[in-house]
Amino acid sequence: MHIKGFALLALSVAFVLACKAPEENKKQWWETAQFYQIYPRSFKDSNGDGIGDLNGITSKLEYLKEIGVTATWLSPIFTSPMADFGYDISNFVDIQPEYGTLTDFDAMIKKANEVGIKIILDFVPNHSSDEHEWFIRSENREKGYEDLYFWDDGKDDPKDPTKRLPPSNWISVFRGSAWKWSEKRKQFYYHAFLDKQPDLNYRSPTLVQLMKNVLKFWLERGVAGFRIDAVPNLFEISKQSGGYPDEPVNPNEPDDQNYDHLRHIYVIDQPETIDMVYQWRKVLIDHQNAYGGDERILMIETYSEPAYSNQFYGNKTTEGAQIPFNFNLISRVNKNTNAEGFVEAIDAWMKAMPSGKTANWVIGNHDNKRVPTRYGIKRTDFMNMLIMILPGVSVTYQGEEIGMLDVELSWEDTVDPAACNSNSDIYEQFSRDPCRTPFQWDNTKNAGFSTGATTWLPVGETYTTYNVAVESATTGNSHLKIFKTLTDMRENKALQYGGYRYFSYNNVFILKRWIDGGDTILLIFNANSQSITVNLKDADESIPDNMRISVVSLESIKVIGSALGSSVQLAADEAVVATSVERKLFRYGSL
Ligand SMILES: *[C@@H]1O[C@H](CO)[C@@H](O)[C@H](O)[C@H]1NC(C)=O
Ligand SMILES: CC(=O)N[C@H]1CO[C@H](CO)[C@@H](O)[C@@H]1O
Ligand SMILES: [Ca+2]
Ligand SMILES: [Ca+2]
């Protein structure tokens, strides 16, 4: 008895000591988080008008918790004429009526706090709507508002003295000249996106302060941070530093209406942008110091080379954004990428990231074709496995957890301005509608998204196969079960704190995570177009013997819970996750 008691005491002392070290470098909540992007218009409609809304989101927060989401970022919900579906904001501090009210917003935050989901808002700082009060006043040259936007007389038209020409050759992201003539002010204004999205002028201290007030407004209503839209476009070369010079032509893109026709040396990635992000982080830090609570975060949209985008993390003296989005898995990976290609795409981030920072992995959003279209249907589960098992933060766009497919839409059904600005022959090249169709909840009418007669975009035809209800209820495997098992696994210290190694072996991609004295987790993916047998000890002799299969891609016939073995046969595009613990990791199903 005595000895037993002593042993227990000794054990608990050892436990306390052993726990101390990891606690010291305890991570912030967001560093091990699963983020989920909601496109509010298409997530859940609560009142049958065919348009998703805040009350719809509130009613589904428990679903997000259930599938292991930590925080959700919402595409814009603010007052907007909807020329770019909410990315054209006419009031930064109110809710678009079709989405709800500030009272609904407060109710959503309250519910989110109860459920344990953090809410992150989209902050769209580059431009406002041309219907924003600031723009109307600026166009009227009201005092204090004159220079909140970019105004310029333009150039003489040598052919017609009554006409003016735009100040420069700058092209809008959505095609055509980025300058629009205002009859009222008799000047041009600059718009990087639609002409209904005039760019805000960050060289105006008034504007800078107004936008910081917007951040404070939402922080005080309880948001956990912001995802910042179109950061590359924030600053452009200033009038003071030499007017608005023409950008050089890119010979690879002959279509002179296309954004890619120019090399954007004056309108994106200007040095001042970095400091503005630091200033916004300061607003968040000040708020946290005043109100307490968990760290508030900034996630930013950037597409630049690491030398530039790494600066967003901050420098030796100043904090920046915690999460500059990593789109490498979107830009460098496709259906045909081989195992080495995956290694290179991951390296491109891991090797460039400043030390001590947290990586993040994005495979889709409301601007890109859906995951099964870009990576191939059979690789869908592998992509979810990859972002969950790589070190750092995972980011999921709504529908990726159920393997939603792009929905092909006719020219008549197309509403995205990026497509409508083109024509019926080429619109599919530009349209972002196929990835924005209503979320598929169940087998009922409108996939359970809405009880209305119609929905703002048609519901995908495959909704009876890919929906939450069907994929939860099946006794077999499903995309959703795979997703949930993976988010469960992310509680494992090996994934949160462990080491990592990824490599290609006979065109099989292998990712190993492990923690000393703890588990090893293995992801194996066959990138070959035929089956292959891999000898694991040959691939990496440190892989433990007792690995068991925890997750498999949908078409795999391997049995969850069975031993992985030292010689693993994989079909083309088959992906398997194995764990060294003999623990039941599959939450439901036939096991
Ligand atoms: C970090 O950035 C701040 C703000 O832009 C700047 O004032 C400071 O000089 C920078 N520090 C270093 C060490 O580069
Ligand atoms: C990924 C993303 O958020 N893209 C947005 C970038 O900004 C433009 C203009 O605000 C939007 O149209 C895109 O949807
Ligand atoms: Ca609605
Ligand atoms: Ca801008």
Between CA 502 and CA 336 the distance in angstroms is: 19
User: CB of 84 closer than 6 A to ligand 2?
Assistant: yes
Is domain 133-190 classified as CATH 3.40.50.2300?
A: no
d(C-alpha 244, C-alpha 170), whole Å: 9
CA-proximal residue: ligand 1, atom 8 (nearest): 317
Per the CB < 8 A criterion, the answer to whether 523 and 577 are in contact is: yes
User: Do residues 588 and 497 make contact, with C-beta atoms less than 8 angstroms apart?
Assistant: no
Q: Whose CA is nearest to atom 14 of ligand 1?
A: 315
CA of 53 to the centre of ligand 3 (A): 5
Which residues in 238-254 are b (16+ Cβ under 10 Å) and which e?
beeeeebeebeeeeeee
Q: Which ligand is located closest to the Cα atom of residue 193?
A: 2
β-strand 225-228 against 118-123: which pairing, if any? parallel
Q: What's the pLDDT at 586?
A: 45
Cα–chain-centroid distance for residue 591? 34
- Does the CB atom of residue 367 touch ligand 2 within 6 A? yes
Query: What whole-number distance in Å separates Cα of residue 312 and Cα of residue 323?
Result: 9
Can you give the pLDDT of all 591 residues of the chain as single tens digits?
344 444 444 444 444 333 334 444 689 999 999 999 999 999 999 999 999 999 999 999 999 999 999 999 999 999 999 999 999 999 999 999 999 999 999 999 999 999 999 999 999 999 999 999 999 999 999 999 999 999 999 999 999 999 999 999 999 999 999 999 999 999 999 999 999 999 999 999 999 999 999 999 999 999 999 999 999 999 999 766 778 999 999 999 999 999 999 999 999 999 999 999 999 999 999 999 999 999 999 999 988 888 888 999 999 999 999 999 999 999 999 999 999 999 999 999 999 999 999 999 999 999 999 999 999 999 999 999 999 999 999 999 999 999 999 999 999 999 998 899 889 999 999 999 999 999 999 999 999 999 999 999 999 999 999 999 999 999 999 999 999 999 999 999 999 999 999 999 999 999 999 999 889 999 999 999 999 999 999 999 999 988 999 999 999 999 999 999 999 999 999 999 999 974 444 444 333
Whether the Cβ atoms of residue 323 and residue 281 lie closer than 8 Å to each other: no
Q: Is 511 helix (H, G, I), strand (E, B) or coil?
A: strand
- Strands 575-579, 548-552: parallel, antiparallel or unpaired by DSSP? antiparallel
Strand-strand pairing, 393-397 and 360-362: parallel
Two tokens, residue 390 = 């790589």
Ligand 1 pocket by Cβ (under 6 Å): 275, 278, 315-318
Q: How far is CA 356 from CA 44, 73, 353, 511, 528, in A?
A: 38, 24, 9, 21, 35
Residue 428 exposed, middle or buried by CB count within 10 Å (0-12, 13-18, 19+): middle
Take atom 13 of ligand 2 and give the residue whose Cα is closest: 367
Could you write out the three-class secondary structure of 459-476? CCHHHHCCCHHHHHHCCC
* CA-CA-CA-CA dihedral for 295, 298, 299, 305, to nearest 10: -120
Residue nearest to atom 6 of ligand 2 (CA): 230
Identify which ligand lies nearest to the alpha carbon of 87. Answer: 2
Tell me which CATH code domain 479-579 carries.
2.60.40.1180
Determine the pLDDT at residue 421. 86
Beta strands in 108-224 (DSSP E): 118-123, 151-152, 155-156, 164-165, 179-182, 187-190
Closest listed ligand to the CA of 233:
4
Residue 79 confidence (pLDDT): 98
Q: Find the catalytic residue in 122, 139, 229, 433.
A: 229
Domain locations along the chain: 133-190, 479-579
Q: Are 491 and 521 in contact (CB under 8 A)?
A: no
Residue of 130, 194, 229, 433 to mutate, ligand 2, most atoms within 8 A of C-beta:
229
Cβ–ligand 2 contact at 124 (below 6 Å): yes
**Helix ranges (DSSP H) in 359-414:** 371-375, 380-389
Place of tokens 């048609």: 458
Based on its alpha-carbon atoms, the radius of gyration of the chain, rounded to whole angstroms, reads 26
Q: Please answer whether residues 580 and 546 qualify as being in contact, where contact means their C-beta atoms are separated by less than 8 angstroms.
A: yes
Tokens found for residue 84: 């770019």
Beta bridge partners of 202: none
Rounded to the nearest whole angstrom, what is the distance from the C-alpha of residue 89 to the centroid of ligand 4? 15
301 in catalytic set: yes
**Phi, psi angle pair for 48, to nearest 5°:** 75, 15
The residue whose CB lies within 8 Å of the most ligand 1 atoms, and thus the one to mutate among 208, 312, 318, is 318
301 lines ligand 2 (CB under 6 A): yes
What ligand 1 atom has the least distance to the C-alpha of 275?
Answer: 5
